[in-house]
């Protein structure tokens, strides 16, 4: 199975490395197209014979073509690669906000899988939500999911609108976590810890809390009750969060991200 990754930036490199490290794709079957060769240079795992800086007939040989350029670069890219794309090739797009119908029209293809990964894919801890056009059989979808899962976990959704919802939750999600962590680090420093001590306290607290949550059936609310005893310190903090309706504000932020994802896609 020959795989071509178009765009060797953050995500393109992540995919290339994950496919090869998992041995799901062999070195001879992985091809990269990026307009600048310097971008591909850090990818020492990929054979230089398989790296291209301009479109050519090699594109037609790929069973799966992965589109990993920025959404705004897609119209130009589509014009450049369309002469080499065959209608039966499977296209896997990770571009935010570009709908399946737009890819079908721009490339003259029939079969497109669209997915929304997130940044922790870089370390095999990514979360990807994906959907597909008609005409892709279960076996092919399974192959695509295996490829995606080399970067972490994934779920399939029938409704393409859910990709916009996933963009708001898991796509942008790492930034929300860092926002919350940063606020806790700042609070730690204001209480007298050094920045590096505060960072360690917060990092380990996030990791420990998530791992603990994953190892048990308890809900977040049940875990909160386990930490917060009546009249205690945690309750004092939670009271302030409730007073300022922090949960509602987080919800409103995520809805704004959802609306923006829909706007960008239309």
Ligand X SMILES: NC(=O)c1ccc[n+]([C@@H]2O[C@H](COP(=O)([O-])OP(=O)(O)OC[C@H]3O[C@@H](n4cnc5c(N)ncnc54)[C@H](OP(=O)(O)O)[C@@H]3O)[C@@H](O)[C@H]2O)c1
Applying CB under 6 A, which residues contact ligand X? 6-12, 33-36, 39, 68-71, 73, 76-77, 80, 94-96, 116-119, 171
Q: How far is the CB of 98 from ligand X (least distance, A)?
A: 7
| CA–CA separation, 67 and 45 (whole Å) | 20
| CB-nearer residue toward ligand X: 173 or 188 | 173
- Distance linking the first and last C-alpha atoms of the chain: 33
| CB-nearer residue toward ligand X: 52 or 133 | 52
| CA–CA separation, 57 and 170 (whole Å) | 36
- 195 Cβ contact list (under 8 Å, min separation 6): 185, 189
Q: How far is the CB of 47 from ligand X (least distance, A)?
A: 18
Q: Sign of torsion, CA 165 171 175 176?
A: positive
| CB-nearer residue toward ligand X: 66 or 109 | 66
| CB-nearer residue toward ligand X: 78 or 185 | 78
Q: How far is the CB of 59 from ligand X (least distance, A)?
A: 11
Q: How far is the CB of 50 from ligand X (least distance, A)?
A: 15
Give the CA angle between residues 237, 208, 201 to the nearest 5°: 60
| DSSP 8-state class, residue 129 | E
| CB-nearer residue toward ligand X: 112 or 198 | 112
| CB-nearer residue toward ligand X: 70 or 239 | 70
Residue nearest ligand X, CB atom distance: 9
| CB-nearer residue toward ligand X: 58 or 193 | 58
CB 173 within 8 A of CB 148: no
- 131 Cβ contact list (under 8 Å, min separation 6): 100, 113, 114, 115, 156, 157, 158, 159, 160, 162, 163
Q: How far is the CB of 54 from ligand X (least distance, A)?
A: 8
Q: Which residues face 65 on adjacent strands?
A: 4, 91
Q: How far is the CB of 2 from ligand X (least distance, A)?
A: 18
Give the pair of three-digit tokens for residue 84.
């080499």
Q: Sign of torsion, CA 163 212 177 152?
A: negative
Alpha helices in the chain (DSSP H): 10-21, 37-40, 58-61, 74-81, 100-107, 138-148, 161-166, 173-190, 195-214, 220-227, 233-243, 246-265
Q: How far is the CB of 68 from ligand X (least distance, A)?
A: 5
């Amino acid at each position: 199975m020959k795989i071509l990754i178009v765009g060797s930036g953050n995500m393109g490199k992540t995919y290339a490395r994950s496919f090869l490290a998992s041995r799901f794709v062999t070195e001879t079957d992985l091809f990269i197209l990026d307009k600048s060769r310097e971008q591909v240079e850090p990818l020492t795992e990929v054979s230089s014979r398989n790296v291209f800086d301009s479109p050519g007939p090699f594109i037609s040989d790929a069973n799966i073509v992965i589109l990993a350029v920025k959404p705004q670069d897609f119209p130009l890219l589509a014009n450049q690669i369309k002469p080499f794309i065959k209608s039966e090739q499977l296209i896997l797009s990770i571009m935010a906000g570009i709908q399946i119908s737009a890819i079908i029209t721009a490339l003259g293809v029939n079969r497109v899988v669209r997915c929304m990964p997130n940044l922790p894919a870089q370390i095999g801890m990514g979360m990807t939500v994906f959907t597909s056009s008609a005409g892709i059989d279960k076996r092919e979808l399974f192959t695509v999911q295996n490829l995606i899962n080399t970067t972490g976990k994934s779920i399939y959704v029938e409704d393409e609108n859910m990709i916009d919802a996933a963009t708001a939750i898991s796509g942008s999600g790492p930034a929300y976590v860092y926002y919350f962590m940063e606020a806790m680090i700042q609070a730690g420093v204001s209480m007298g810890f050094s920045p590096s001590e505060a960072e360690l306290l917060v990092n380990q607290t996030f990791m420990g809390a998530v791992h603990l949550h994953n190892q048990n059936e308890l809900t977040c609310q049940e875990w909160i009750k386990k930490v917060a005893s009546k009249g205690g310190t945690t309750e004092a903090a939670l009271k302030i969060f409730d007073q300022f309706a922090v949960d509602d504000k987080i919800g409103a932020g995520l809805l704004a991200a959802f609306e923006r994802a829909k706007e960008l896609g239309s």
